[in-house]
């Protein structure tokens, strides 16, 4: 079966607790049933209806578990050339930001290992130089 194409008009129409659709990474999800279970609450989701919620979704740093819920909520692909332009670059946004987080994480690990390594080298040097006198 062909994937449904959701128009901007349709997206905007599903903006209340009776029926809530969200646009994330060029795809539209029906979060009506999920909203009560959403750990981030309903207000943040309701605030993202009728527009591209990709940035809000990514800014939170949703876990892989959260992303795994998406296929069950999938309605269809968002129209490509409609009134609301979605940045296609946002599609891969998850990967670079995760990579940056990892780099920062590794950077902070280095902050511990470099001084420790230097300290170790200093004591090794003291040990060997005092032994030779
Ligand atoms: C279909 C879309 C969404 C799904 C399936 C979803 C799912 C989840 C899940 C499972 C969590 C728990 C933490 C985690 O596993 O990452 C979470 C947390 C959160 N979500 Fe969402 N979410 C969605 C959309 C949004 C949107 C559009 C926002 C808007 C800003 C949002 C804001 C938050 C916040 C702020 C938290 C953190 C709650 C806390 O830890 O106190 N979510 N979401």
Please indicate, yes or no, whether residues 61 and 36 belong to a single structural domain of this protein: yes
Residue 26 near residue 77 (C-beta atoms within 8 A): yes
Quick check: CB of 84 below 6 Å from ligand 1? Answer: no
> 57: CA distance to ligand 1 center in Å?
7
3-state secondary structure of 6: strand
Q: Specify whether the backbone of 82 is left (phi greater than 0), alpha (psi in -120 to 50) or beta.
A: beta
Please indicate, yes or no, whether residues 116 and 78 belong to a single structural domain of this protein: no
> 94: CA distance to ligand 1 center in Å?
14
Quick check: CB of 75 below 6 Å from ligand 1? Answer: no
> 16: CA distance to ligand 1 center in Å?
18
- Domain region containing 106: 93-132
Please indicate, yes or no, whether residues 85 and 97 belong to a single structural domain of this protein: no
User: What CA–CA distance (Å, rounded) separates 51 from 21?
Assistant: 10
Please indicate, yes or no, whether residues 63 and 83 belong to a single structural domain of this protein: yes
Spell out the per-residue pLDDT of the chain, length 133, in tens. Answer: 789 999 999 999 999 999 999 999 999 999 999 999 999 999 999 999 999 999 999 999 999 999 999 999 999 999 988 889 886 654 444 555 555 555 555 666 667 778 888 999 999 998 888 865 5
Q: Work out how many domains the chain is built from and give that number.
A: 2
3-state secondary structure of 32: coil
**Residue linked to tokens 């994937």:** 3
């Amino acid at each position: 079966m062909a994937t449904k194409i959701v128009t901007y008009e349709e997206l905007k129409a599903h903006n209340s607790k009776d029926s809530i659709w969200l646009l994330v990474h060029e795809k539209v999800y029906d979060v009506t049933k999920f909203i009560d279970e959403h750990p981030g609450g309903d207000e943040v989701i309701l605030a993202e209806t009728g527009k591209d919620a990709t940035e809000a979704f990514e800014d939170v740093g949703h876990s892989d578990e959260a992303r795994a819920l998406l296929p069950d909520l999938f309605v269809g692909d968002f129209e490509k050339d409609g009134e609301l332009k979605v940045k296609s670059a946002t599609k891969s946004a998850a990967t670079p930001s995760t990579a940056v987080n990892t780099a920062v994480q590794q950077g902070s690990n280095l902050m511990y290992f470099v001084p420790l390594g230097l300290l170790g080298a200093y004591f090794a040097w003291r040990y060997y130089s005092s032994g030779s006198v």
